[in-house]
A and B are shown apart, each in its own frame.
Chain A
Amino acid sequence: MARMGSRLAALAAFLVAAGACGGSSAAQGGTDVGITATQILLGNTIAQTGPAAAYGTIANAENAYFTYVNNNGGINGRKVTFTVLDDGYNPAKTVPLTHQLIEQNKVFAMFSGLGTQPQVSVRDYLNSKSVPQLFVATGATTFNGDFSSHGWTLGWQPPYQGESRIYAKDILQNHPSAKIGVLYQKDDYGQDYLKGLTDGLGSKASTMIVDQESYDVTATVPSIASQLSKLKSKGADTLFIFATPSFTIGALAIVTGLNWSPLTYLNSVSNPAAYMKIAASKGAKLDGVISVNYIKDPTDPAWADDAGMKLYRTVIASCTTCKPDDGFNIYGVAVAYTMVDVLKQAGSNLTRANVIKIASSQLNETNPFLLPGITVTTTSSDHFPIMQEQVVQWTNGAWHLQGSLINERGTIS
C-alpha cells in the first residue's frame, strides 16, 4: 500500500510538472498541490483571539468533523489535515497567514475562512493563484454574487440579504401596514441585512421603515437603550434587530424594559435557543418573536432523537474545547460536511479546478445538520449553495417552525 502510495505521489508530481510546463490539461485521476497519497491539506484563517474570538470555535468544530471522517476511512483513502491559523479578525494578519498557508504549508484549498473584511482582503490573491477559497464563513452576498469575476471563491450559508428578503416577504404578506424600526450593527453584516430588507420591501420601504438606528461594535450593551428608545418614540410597531448575539440579548431585554412590545424580528445568527433563554432570564418577553432558521438548533429538544443531531453529538465529543450547545459548532460541522462531500465527489480527480467546479455548479446535497427539506445546491448558473430557510416563531419557550420552507433562489445575484 505504501509503495502504491509513493507511486501515486510520483505520478502526481509528474502530472503537476507536466501541467506547469504548459503541457496537457490534467487528465482524469490528476491531483494538485496539497494532495498526497494519504493526505488532503486544507487551510483556514479565523479569529481565535480578540473581539471576534467567540467565532473561533467554528474551526475547532470543523476539525472535529474532519477527525471523525478520518477515523472512519477518510475520503477515498486520504485523510484531511486541517491547518487553522489565528488572524484575530484583522485583514493585515489574514494576508500574510494566507500566503503562508498557500506558499509554505502548500495547502490544497482554503476552507471556511472567517469574516467579510479578512476574506475580501485575500480574495484577489487566492483567485490569482487559482486556489479555491471555499465556503467562507460570512453571509456577505459578494462571495456568491461576484462568482463571475472571482471564480475561485464561494460562500456557503444563506446570504444575509437573502435572509432579510424573507422577512420582507413575511411582513408584506402578514403585516402590510407595519411601521418598521431597524436596529443594526454598523458594519458589513448589519448593513447587508438592512439592504436586503429595504430591497425586499421595494417601493414600500420608504413608507414602511419609519426609522433605522445603528450602533458600533465597540458599544456597551446597555447603551443601545438609547437607539431603542428612539425607535420607540418614532412610533415603530415592528422591530428588526440585525445584531450579534450579545447585543440581541441586550436589546430584547431592553425593549421589554421600555414597556414596548413591538412585533420583533431577529436575524438567524443571534437566534439560538440558548441565547433566547438568557434574554428571557433578563426579563425579556419573547413570545411572538420571529426569525428564520436553516440549521438545526442543538438546544432544541425537538431534535433529541434526530439522526443528524446524534451524529453531531458524536462528532463534537472529540473536541474538548467545544461546547456542544453552541450554535457556532453545529455550523462548523455542517459546513465541513459539505466540504467532505465535495472532496468525495471529486474522487480521484482531486484538482483545484475540479473541486471548485463541483462546489460551484454540481452540488446537490442533503445535509443532516440542516433543517429537513433544505438542499445544498449549485448549478452552472446559480452559485448560492443554501437558499432555503424556514420562518420560526418563539412561543412557550421554544422556536416553532412556521409554514413551509421559503426559497429565495434567484432573487439576488
Chain B
Amino acid sequence: MQDFLQQVVSGIATGGIFASLALALVLIYNAMGLVNFAQGEMAMLATFTALSLIQRGVDYWIALPVTLVLAFVGGVVIQRVVIRPVERAPVLTLVIVTLGLATLINGLAGFLFGYVPRSFPSPFSVQTVSILGAFASYQDLGVIVVSAIVLVLMYVLLQRTPIGLAMRAAAHQPEASRLLGIRVSWMLALGWGLASAVGAVSGIMAAPALLLEPNMMQTVIIYAFAAAVLGGIESPLGAVLGGLIVGVTVNLAGAYVPGVGGDLQLAVAFAIIIAVLVLKPNGLMGRGSVRRA
C-alpha cells in the first residue's frame, strides 16, 4: 500500500514534466492544427540558452524571463522562415519539416554544448514532503504548480482575449478569418512564439530532474504526445490531466502489471497513444478534431 501510494505520487511528479511539454504541443495544435515534432528540441535549446546566461553570472530570475522572450522570438522566426513557406502544404510536408527542425536543433545543440549531462539549477528546494507517507520534493510540486499557472494563463489567453479568439479562428477557419481581416499568417507566428515560450518553461522546469543534454527531451516528447493525445489534443486542461495520468499509469503498469516491468515504461506510453487514437480519438477533453488535408 505504501509503495502503491508512492508509485502514484512519483507518477504525478513525473507526469508534471510530461504535462508541461504537452501544453506547448496543444498550443501549436490550436494555432495551426499541427503537432510540432521539434517542440522538445526547441525546449532543450531554450534551456541551454538559460544555462548559458546563468553561467555568465546572470541571476536566475532575470535569466528566466530573458530566455522566455528569446524563445518567443525564436519561435516566431522559425515560423516565418521555415514553416510559412509550407504552411498551406499537406500535413505530411509539415510533419517532415518539423522533424527536420528537430534533427537540426539536436545536432546544433550537440555542436554548441557537447553531450556531457549538466546540472541545471532549480528555484525550488530539493527538500521532500511526506504526503500520507509517500514522498515528493518541492521541486516535483513546483513543476506541477508552474504547469497549472501556465494552464490558467493559456486558458485566459485563448478563451478570454480577442487575440486568443483570433488565433483559434485563424486555425479553424483560415479563409473566413482572412475575410474578417484577421492576419492569419501572423496569428500562426504568434502561436509558434507562444508555444516556444511555453516549451522553454517546460524545459527549464524539467532540466533539474532530467539533467541537461541535447537528447534530454527525446523520449519526454513521446510521453508528452501520449499526454496530449489522451487529454484531447486541443485541450490545455486535457494535456495537464493527460500528463499526470500518463505519469501514474506508466509507473503503476511497470510496478504491478505482470510481464510489463520497469523497462517497458515507454511501451506503456506507446500503448496509451494507440489505444486512445483507435478507441477515442478525441481524447478525454477534446471535442471535434480539426482535420487538415
Contact = CB atoms under 8 A, between A and B. Distances in A.
- Whether chain A touches chain B in the assembled complex (some CB pair under 8 Å): yes
A313 interface: no
Interface residues of B, number: 47
Given A53-B110, A245-B117, A223 B213 contact: no
B14 A233 contact: no
A225 interface: yes
Given A219-B219, A258-B135, A282-B208, A226 B251 contact: yes
Given A222-B13, A225-B10, A233-B2, A216 B115 contact: no
A213 B2 CA distance: 18
B55 interface: no
Nearest to A226: B251
Contact of B11 (A226, A245, A246): A226
Interface in A256-275: 256-259
B262 A246 contact: no
Contacts of B116: 54, 57, 323, 326
A214 interface: yes
Interface string B130-148: 1000011100100000000
B219 A250 contact: no
Nearest to A325: B116
B210 interface: yes
Contacts of A218: 219, 266
Given A56-B115, A220-B210, A220-B223, A283 B127 contact: yes
Interface string B79-114: 000000000000000000000000000010010001
Nearest to B3: A233
Contacts of A229: 3, 6-7, 10, 255
A230 B126 contact: no
B238 interface: no
A323 B126 contact: no
A221 B265 contact: no
Contacts of B130: 259
Given A222-B13, A326-B116, A257 B209 contact: no
A197 to B, nearest CB: 18
Given A233-B3, A245-B117, A222 B17 contact: yes
Chain A interface extent, by class: 35 or more
A224 B135 contact: no
B209 A258 contact: no
Given A54-B115, A246-B211, A259-B135, A227 B262 contact: yes
Contact of B265 (A54, A219, A253): A219
A310 to B, nearest CB: 23
Contacts of A256: 128
Nearest to A245: B117
A224 B7 CA distance: 10
A51 B3 contact: no
Contacts of A53: 110, 115, 214-215
Interface string A206-244: 000000011110111111111101101100000000000
A258 B211 contact: no
Contacts of A226: 7, 10-11, 250-251, 254-255, 262, 265
B59 interface: no
Contacts of A213: 261-262
B45 to A, nearest CB: 16
Given A54-B117, A226-B251, A214 B209 contact: no
Given A53-B215, A223-B265, 6 more contacts: A223-B250, A227-B262, A232-B3, A246-B117, A278-B118, A278-B119
Interface of A: 49, 51, 53-54, 56-57, 186, 213-216, 218-227, 229-230, 232-233, 245-246, 249-250, 253, 256-259, 278, 281-283, 321, 323, 326
5 A-B pairs closest in CB distance: A283-B126, A233-B3, A225-B10, A186-B263, A226-B251
18 contacts: A53-B110, A54-B213, A186-B263, A216-B266, A222-B10, A222-B140, A223-B10, A223-B247, A224-B262, A225-B14, A232-B3, A232-B6, A246-B117, A259-B128, A278-B117, A282-B119, A283-B126, A323-B114
